[in-house]
Amino acid sequence: MHVSITPQGKAILAAIQRDMIVTQKAILQAIPASEWTGAFKVLEGLAHGAQRWQETCCRK
């Protein structure tokens, strides 16, 4: 089976990705540099938890 995204879908995806980058930049700019280490540790923990969940939740 071959699945591909339509041109309209590509445009929507690009708009979502641009918006996400703007949002991420705003969030990071709101965090004082002195707190970045802790913030990144939290993000790494959340990402690890999400990865573990994905590895176990969707297997058939």
pLDDT of residue 46: 95
Q: Which tens digit of pLDDT belongs to each residue from 26-60? A: 988 999 999 989 999 999 999 999 999 988 887 66
Is the pLDDT at 4 greater than 70? The verdict is yes
pLDDT of residue 59: 67
Task: Assign 10 a pLDDT band (cuts: 50, 70, 90).
Answer: very high
Burial code of 1-38, b = ≥16 C-beta within 10 A, e = fewer?
eeeeeeeeeeeeeeeeeeeeeeeeeeeeeeeeeeeeee
Domain segments of the chain as ranges: 7-57
Looking at residues 11-27, what average pLDDT do you find? Answer: 96
pLDDT of residue 3: 87
Rounded CA Rg of the chain: 17
